[in-house]
Amino acid sequence: ANALLAVLLALTPPLQGIVTVSLAVAAARDPEGKALRAELGATCELARGERRSAYNYILQTLGSLFLDNISSGGVDVPPLTSTERAEAKSAMLKAALTSTDKFFLDELYGFVISNCKAADELLSRDAPGLESYLSREGGLVPPGSVTDPADPATAIVTAAAAALNAGVLIGPLTKAQVAMLELLCSMLVRKGRFLDAALVYGALGCRRSGPGADLSVSLDSRVAAMQVG
């Protein structure tokens, strides 16, 4: 499969072609979509591993554009000027965001946010499923399946409102999860959904505390969340 991928990449335009071909290989490795079916347990994880090995070409190449550092496992990016690098990064990310592979989009968002520290690149674009991803990774709504058809906007408002009005508190949350929900709030504000953002901040402010530094919630952080909201 890797040899086939290399051949196909040679026949397609660079960078954007990496996205198209890699996703095609991922789909061929998991034709039944088992990676999207968490209830399959080990079978699902095996399928996800197969898909991730194909996604790696996209993520490592995209990472080299974000970080200006060629990483092993991706496709070599030739020396570029800062303008060329920005244009290539934008074109490749645009191509990636047209994907209908929901598992890939989750992997992409996690990589760009956590590995590349480039959340703004996603928040400034029409990134499909990003709202759902941030709410799930942040612990506001249950992890569920990436194929869950529920409207993420409704799920977010319902969960946040329940935390404030019905005592169905979220958490304990790790610092990484809190960061995800803060990104979600930034996204909602950019969309002009100020009430929804306020509800999420409120849910953060009254979340459950847990043991240890990573799960504890200081009074100052609670007050700060409530004041922002």
pLDDT band at residue 11 under the 50/70/90 scheme? very low
Q: Is 134 within the bounds of a domain?
A: no
Distance CA 102, CA 223 (A): 36
111 and 26 co-located in one domain: yes
- Are 83 and 151 in the same domain? no
Q: Are residues 50 and 96 in the same domain?
A: yes
pLDDT at 134: 96
Identify the pLDDT of residue 141: 87
In the prediction, which pLDDT does 204 show? Answer: 94
Q: Which residues contact 171 (CB under 8 A, 6 or more apart)?
A: 139, 207, 208, 209, 210, 215, 217
Domain, as residue range, for 5: 1-128
- The answer, yes or no, to whether the previous bond of 211 is cis (omega within 30 of 0) is no
Q: Is residue 158 part of a domain?
A: yes
Instruction: Decide if 136 is inside a domain.
Output: no
The domain boundary residue, chosen from 77, 103, 128 = 128
Q: What single letter denotes the amino acid at residue 59?
A: L
Number of domains in the chain: 2
Would you say 131 and 187 are in contact if contact means Cβ atoms under 8 Å apart? yes
Q: What is the pLDDT of residues 162-209, one digit of tens each?
A: 888 877 889 999 999 999 999 999 999 999 999 999 999 999 999 999
Give the pLDDT confidence of 106-162 residue by residue, as tens digits: 999 999 999 999 999 999 999 999 999 999 999 998 776 454 545 777 888 888 888
Residue 89 forms part of a structural domain = yes
% of the chain with per-residue pLDDT over 70: 86
Expressed in angstroms, the distance from the first to the final Cα of the chain is 50
Mean pLDDT across the chain: 85
pLDDT class of 25 with cuts at 50, 70, 90: very high
Is the predicted pLDDT of residue 9 greater than 80, yes or no? no
**Do 51 and 114 have their domain in common?**
yes
The confidence band for 84, taking pLDDT boundaries of 50, 70 and 90, is confident
59 and 14, same structural domain?
Answer: yes
Tell me, yes or no, whether 120 and 208 share the same domain: no
CA proximity to 106, closest of 36, 154, 44, 57: 36
17 assigned to some structural domain: yes
What letter represents residue 155's amino acid?
A
Beta strands in 81-200 (DSSP E): none
Pick the last residue of a domain from 128, 159, 193: 128
CA gyration radius for the chain?
19
Q: Flag whether 186 is in a domain.
A: yes
- Pick the residue with more confidence: 69 or 135? 135
Residue where a domain stops, chosen among 99, 128, 157: 128
